[in-house]
Amino acid sequence: MADTDPDVLAFGDLLEAFRSLEKVLAADLRRRGGMSHTWFDALIRIACEPEKVLTMNGLCAGTSLTSGGATRLVDRLVEAGYVDRKGSKADRRVQLVALTDRGAEALDAAAVVHRENIREHFTGKLTERELAILLDLLRKIRVRP
């Protein structure tokens, strides 16, 4: 039954499309952009914050990382000089992650590669109308906690 259930098949197709795109985009981002997709995702989330600062909890909530995974990721980003750790003045228990100038430059360079890849392998294969429909559909099915 699962092999003919349209709901199961639709979700399977969505996952397959995501996985194949993610594999191609991540490989080229690493090769030409100089960073993993996980690093790119973390840096762009921090960069999108008004002060270019995000709490560790915010980083976990916006990604699929556990608190331990986020800690290890931030350790590597600090080592690379892309982010700094800061304590919150309002709450000493809160750890903040701030984008550095070096991190912003690396993110900008990687974003050029990522944008080119997205256009080549994803949005460039769709008409403007198809892309608008897809965006509407994705927003409609997005689950927000």
Going residue by residue through the chain, which has 145 residues, state the pLDDT in tens, using 9 for 90 and above.
767 889 999 999 999 999 999 999 999 999 999 999 999 999 999 999 989 999 888 888 877 788 888 889 999 999 999 999 987 677 667 788 999 999 999 999 999 999 999 999 999 999 999 999 999 999 999 887 6
Which CATH number characterizes residue 73's domain?
Answer: 1.10.10.10
| pLDDT at site 145 | 60
- pTM to 2 decimal places: 0.84
Query: Residue 85: inside a domain, yes or no?
Result: yes
Burial of 40 by CB count in 10 Å (0-12 exposed, 13-18 middle, 19+ buried)? Answer: buried
Q: Tokens 């919150």 sit at which residue?
A: 88
Query: Residue 120: inside a domain, yes or no?
Result: yes
d(CA 53, CA 74): 13
Query: Residue 68: inside a domain, yes or no?
Result: yes
Q: Supply the range of the domain harboring residue 102.
A: 6-141
* Sheet strand arrangement including 83-87: 53-55, 95-99, 83-87
Helix (H, G, I), strand (E, B) or coil at 88: coil
Paired tokens of 142: 């997005």
Query: Residue 1: inside a domain, yes or no?
Result: no
Total number of domains constituting the chain: 1
Give every CB contact of residue 74 below 8 A, 6+ residues apart in sequence. Answer: 42, 56, 59, 83, 85, 97
Whole-Å CA distances, 47 to 25, 107, 113, 117, 143: 20, 9, 17, 20, 23
Give every CB contact of residue 71 below 8 A, 6+ residues apart in sequence. Answer: 56
